[in-house]
């Protein structure tokens, strides 16, 4: 029946919010600063209620926060869920890439003399992971 902890539920909402191109575009524009609903709606070819709905989805995910000044309800981006999403992905990417590195090593061992294979594999296992990320792995 799956865990479905609070964190898990939040990830559901965050990833779901990110799975729509209109919402991602809204987010991208929101990243540059606070915007009103009509400002957000302008570039898209959908009606206002559609945007309102999208904003609700993002609000539910904790990705946007809204203000109120007169009849305007400006939106601003809350990046925390984005961080949690990245953290989740990175955890498993890391494991996967470790496995990949291990497979690498294994394949190498299969075609190398057996005596120094263990030593070499211990050596190689560092620095292989997190190729793509900006920093060195932790």
Partner DNA sequence: TTCGTATTTTACCATATGGTTAAATACAAA
Partner DNA sequence: TTTGTATTTAACCATATGGTAAAATACGAA
Among 25, 57, 117, 125, binds DNA (CB under 7 A): 57
Among 47, 52, 126, 137, binds a copy of itself (CB under 8 A): 137
Q: Pattern 44-83, binding to a copy of itself, x per CB under 8 A?
A: xx-------------------------------x-x--xx
CA–CA–CA angle 18, 20, 22 (5° rounding): 110
List the structure tokens of 33. 């600063």
Could you tell me if 104 and 128 are in contact, meaning their C-beta atoms sit under 8 angstroms apart? Answer: yes
Q: Can you tell me the distance from the alpha carbon of 59 to that of 137, in angstroms, rounded to the nearest whole number?
A: 33
Among 36, 62, 97, 121, binds a copy of itself (CB under 8 A): 97
**Residue carrying structure tokens 């799975």:** 19
Cβ 137 to DNA, closest distance in Å?
31
Cβ 86 to DNA, closest distance in Å?
21
The three-state secondary structure class of 69 is: strand
Among residues 74, 92, 65, 66, which one has the least CA distance to residue 11? 92
Among residues 69, 5, 1, 59, which one has the least CA distance to residue 27? 59
Q: Does 48 bind DNA (CB under 7 A)?
A: yes
Among 36, 109, 120, 128, binds DNA (CB under 7 A): 36
* Range 80-119, binding DNA (CB under 7 A): none
**Interaction site with DNA (CB under 7 A):** 16, 19-20, 22, 36-39, 45-57, 66, 68, 70-74
């Amino acid at each position: 029946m799956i865990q479905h902890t609070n964190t898990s539920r939040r990830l559901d909402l965050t990833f779901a919010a990110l799975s729509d191109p209109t919402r991602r575009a809204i987010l991208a524009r929101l990243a540059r600063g606070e915007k009103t609903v009509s400002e957000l709606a302008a570039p898209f070819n959908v009606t206002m209620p559609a945007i309102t709905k999208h904003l609700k989805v993002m609000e539910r995910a904790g990705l946007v926060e809204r203000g109120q000044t007169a009849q305007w309800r400006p939106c601003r981006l809350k990046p925390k869920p984005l961080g949690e999403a990245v953290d989740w992905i990175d955890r498993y990417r890391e494991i996967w890439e470790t496995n990949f590195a291990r497979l690498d090593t294994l394949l190498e061992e299969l075609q190398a003399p057996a005596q120094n294979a263990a030593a070499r594999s211990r050596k190689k296992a560092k620095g292989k992971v997190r190729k793509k990320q900006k920093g060195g792995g932790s």
